[in-house]
Amino acid sequence: MTSKKAMKSARLLLIVLCLSAILPGCGSGDSDGLSDERFPIEENDCDSGQSGPNTVEEKTVEEIEESMDITERAIQKAITEQQVMVSQEEFEQAMNIEEVLETEPDIAAQEEIAQEIVEVAVFQVEIPDGLSIDLKYDEYPSGYSYALIMTNTLNVRAEPVIEDNIINKVYYFEKVNLEAIVKGQYVEKYDTDLWYRILWKDGDDIREGFVFSALAEPRTYQFDKMFEKVKLLKDELDSNTTAYISNYKNINGRAPLFNGKVEDEFGTARSQSAPAYYDLDDKSGFRYLEDGTLLTVFGENDSKTHYNVRTMEEGLELWVPKKYVSFRNSIEELKQVVVVDRKNQNEGVFEFADGNWSLISYIFATTGEEAEYKMPTSLGYWMAIGTQPKFIYLDDITKEVAGYAPYTIRFNAGAYIHGVPVNYSIVNGAKVDPGMKEYLFTIGTVPRSHKCVRNYTSHAKFLYDWIEIGKAAIIVIE
């Protein structure tokens, strides 16, 4: 590891939301000595779609098979999270070591003539005050900050210089621990001299090196933002009468068109939503609230046709027809929250006990994509509506039964948290369950599902066993 004494420390506590202001976009990385091989992992993956009354979803079978193929190649290359990533505890221990950890036998000698490395920013995620760590699931340990590789093959250098020794290679969608942004060799093609200092496991050893920043994407667990949302929601729910929007598969009727359109001015779809009026004397002004949206309820109008409600996300006071508002299992005391981060493709799980909040799990996740047959996972505060051991899904195109997704928690229209989808095998013309799948390499990379939040199956089961309907909520942030 490069000696801390050899570095000119310009340490800044990095606020990850500001990274886009200093980092260039991703590129293909197929030249300039930055990348020299191809690891042809496909990008087209999918997940469960809109849920029907018989828990039937839609999914393109070929996309799931493709994702499994990507996973098999990652396992063969030994680049899965469990094989590569360093736990936060191990990461902090490594950062406290002052002596040089050699990455190759001749690197220590090169230290004497190496130029000083200037740190631009350090990735340092703090646990917020009032939140304790009490992990109840840790099958996929990782650091709080990490880099997602966004090119087919990326060379890892001993120093942030293209001509320096290649000490490792990292591959498309691989995740590695992220320590700092440093100044290194300027690359004209990308108009930047910024590199990432990364860590990874190599057997029992922890190694360090540098990758060019334009070809990887920084990620972090936004524990501070997650926890603020959790506290806000608890304060609101515990001190008020609460309910949620209920219009799954338009069971309570389609909302009226918005100025003749099926989306309102905020892009919220009419289907599986309720109309929320700003003023009952002028019903031309309204917006849609999606199925599962958590609400505070203050009362009703004189004719007892609408509830006066307030939204959690924006604090708007609105009027919603009673038929769309459900008090079933309404939350009187919030004790469990899953916070899903669309931007970083991860999630944190929070539990309230004995007057205190604990973080009991943090894990990678995959959210919805904006594409044909798909839609982004909606931002906001959602009711944990119900659980099912599995749902059956159909092929998007043929509409035939194709497989299932296990350990599901529904929170918004057809959006669930669930485990890895499983395509049925066809044996002698009959559909056969090949058994549950635990892992997909694509989890935690980029949005790729229909709308659901995909988890590793063991984590989906952990949530399924843990969650208490009527005490739990889902929050989606970015």
> Which CATH number characterizes residue 297's domain?
2.30.30.40
- Confidence tier at 470 by pLDDT (50, 70, 90): very high
Q: How far apart are CA 422 and CA 408, in angstroms?
A: 13
Q: What is the pLDDT of residue 59?
A: 57
Element of type H or E holding 323: none
User: In the chain, pLDDT over 90 holds for what percent of residues?
Assistant: 72
For residues 35 and 182, membership in a common domain is answered with: yes
| pLDDT digit string, tens, across residues 152-176 | 999 999 999 999 999 999 999 999 9
For residues 8 and 112, membership in a common domain is answered with: yes
In 3-state terms, what secondary structure has residue 69?
A: helix
DSSP string, 36-49: --------------
pLDDT for residue 97 is more than 90: no
For residues 197 and 303, membership in a common domain is answered with: no
Nearest to residue 169, comparing CAs of 35, 43, 42? 35
Query: Among 19-23, 55-59, 283-287, which stretch is predicted with the lowest mean pLDDT?
Result: 19-23
**Mean per-residue pLDDT over the chain, rounded:** 86
Domain boundary among 288, 308, 326: 326
What is residue 460's DSSP assignment? H
Angle at the Cα of 174 from the Cα atoms of 342 and 1, rounded to 5 degrees = 115
Query: Domain total for the chain?
Result: 2
| Alpha-helical regions (H) of 173-246 | 223-238
For residues 282 and 155, membership in a common domain is answered with: no
Q: What is the pLDDT of residue 81?
A: 94
Average pLDDT over residues 24-48: 38
Residue type, 106: D
Per the model's pLDDT, the better-predicted residue between 36 and 83 turns out to be: 83
For residues 30 and 100, membership in a common domain is answered with: yes
Distances (CA, A) of 415 to 239, 375, 382: 28, 10, 11
Element of type H or E holding 63: helix 61-76
196: β partners: 181, 211
Q: Is residue 106 part of a domain?
A: yes
CB 227 within 8 A of CB 349: no
Nearest to residue 175, comparing CAs of 289, 102, 80? 80
Per the model's pLDDT, the better-predicted residue between 309 and 91 turns out to be: 309
For residues 213 and 109, membership in a common domain is answered with: yes
Find the radius of gyration of the CA atoms of the chain. Answer: 24
CB 430 within 8 A of CB 467: no
Angle at the Cα of 290 from the Cα atoms of 458 and 279, rounded to 5 degrees = 155
- Report how far Cα 291 is from the mean position of its chain's Cα atoms: 21
What is residue 19's DSSP assignment? G
pLDDT for residue 11 is more than 50: no
Q: How far apart are CA 432 and CA 424, in angstroms?
A: 5
Q: Which residues contact 474 (CB under 8 A, 6 or more apart)?
A: 337, 338, 339, 340, 381, 382, 383, 384, 409, 411, 412, 417
Q: Is 62 exposed, middle or buried (0-12, 13-18, 19+ CB in 10 A)?
A: middle
Angle at the Cα of 406 from the Cα atoms of 403 and 408, rounded to 5 degrees = 120
Nearest to residue 83, comparing CAs of 155, 141, 41? 141
Q: Is residue 159 part of a domain?
A: yes
CB 320 within 8 A of CB 331: no
For residues 287 and 152, membership in a common domain is answered with: no
| pLDDT digit string, tens, across residues 332-365 | 999 999 999 999 999 999 999 999 999 999 999 9
Per the model's pLDDT, the better-predicted residue between 372 and 106 turns out to be: 372
pLDDT for residue 60 is more than 80: no
Q: Is residue 102 part of a domain?
A: yes
For residues 28 and 160, membership in a common domain is answered with: yes
Q: Is residue 463 part of a domain?
A: no
Domain boundary among 156, 185, 220: 220
Q: How far apart are CA 388 and CA 405, in angstroms?
A: 10
Average pLDDT over residues 299-304: 94
Average pLDDT over residues 258-278: 97
What is residue 222's DSSP assignment? -
Q: How far apart are CA 452 and CA 375, in angstroms?
A: 9
For residues 166 and 311, membership in a common domain is answered with: no
| pLDDT digit string, tens, across residues 421-458 | 999 998 998 899 999 999 999 999 999 898 999 999 99
For residues 171 and 276, membership in a common domain is answered with: no
For residues 152 and 288, membership in a common domain is answered with: no
What backbone phi and psi angles, to 5 degrees, belong to 117? Answer: -105, 125
Nearest to residue 377, comparing CAs of 341, 419, 407? 341
Q: Is 318 exposed, middle or buried (0-12, 13-18, 19+ CB in 10 A)?
A: buried
Distances (CA, A) of 137 to 93, 186, 372: 21, 42, 35
Give the length of the chain.
Answer: 478
Average pLDDT over residues 28-53: 38
341: β partners: 346, 477
Q: Is residue 378 part of a domain?
A: no
Domain that holds residue 112: 4-41+80-126+142-220
Q: Positive or negative, the Cα torsion across 351, 354, 355, 359?
A: negative
For residues 106 and 206, membership in a common domain is answered with: yes
What is residue 300's DSSP assignment? E
Q: How far apart are CA 280 and CA 174, in angstroms?
A: 53
- Report how far Cα 327 is from the mean position of its chain's Cα atoms: 29
Domain boundary among 310, 326, 342: 326
- Report how far Cα 348 is from the mean position of its chain's Cα atoms: 9
Average pLDDT over residues 279-295: 96
Q: What is the pTM of this model?
A: 0.86
Q: Is residue 225 part of a domain?
A: no
Reading the block at residue 81, the tokens are 């999270």
Q: Is residue 269 part of a domain?
A: yes
| pLDDT digit string, tens, across residues 225-238 | 999 999 999 999 99
Q: What is the pLDDT of residue 116?
A: 80
Q: Is residue 15 part of a domain?
A: yes
- Confidence tier at 110 by pLDDT (50, 70, 90): very low
